[in-house]
């Protein structure tokens, strides 16, 4: 039946002592779970960055104060800059080999 419905097996997301987690830990767990369900199956840093940027771009700008929106756009720009730097470093390493 799983083959007919084209179900995909996902690795288990283990949660230990949820009741004892802080609010920040629960929110991180929520984001991890959301990523498991909605991003590509590749768990690389590049895939996680793309997923995060997509989620941030979907946020409604009206939900933020003007300074928060600036902080959000700066964070998104920093993620993109870091990705460019990583890609450039990878190219340099390949040229050295």
pLDDT digits (tens, 9 = 90+) for 44-61: 889 889 998 988 888 766
Cβ(57)–Cβ(77) below 8 Å = no
* Domain limits, the chain: 43-97
Between CA 75 and CA 47 the distance in angstroms is 17
Cite the DSSP H helix spans in the chain: 23-38, 45-58, 66-96
Quick one: tokens of 46?
């590049």
Quick one: tokens of 41?
């199956």
pLDDT digits (tens, 9 = 90+) for 70-81: 888 888 999 999
Between CA 47 and CA 9 the distance in angstroms is 19
Query: By percentage, how much of the chain surpasses pLDDT 70?
Result: 95
């Amino acid at each position: 039946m799983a083959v007919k419905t084209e179900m995909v097996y996902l690795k288990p997301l283990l949660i230990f002592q949820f009741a004892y987690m802080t609010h920040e830990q629960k929110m991180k767990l929520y984001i991890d779970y959301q990523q498991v369900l909605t991003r590509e199956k590749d768990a690389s840093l590049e895939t996680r960055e793309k997923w995060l940027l997509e989620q941030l771009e979907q946020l409604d700008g009206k939900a933020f104060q003007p300074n928060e929106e600036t902080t959000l756009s700066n964070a998104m720009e920093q993620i993109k800059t870091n990705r460019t730097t990583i890609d450039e470093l990878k190219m340099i390493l390949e040229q050295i080999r």
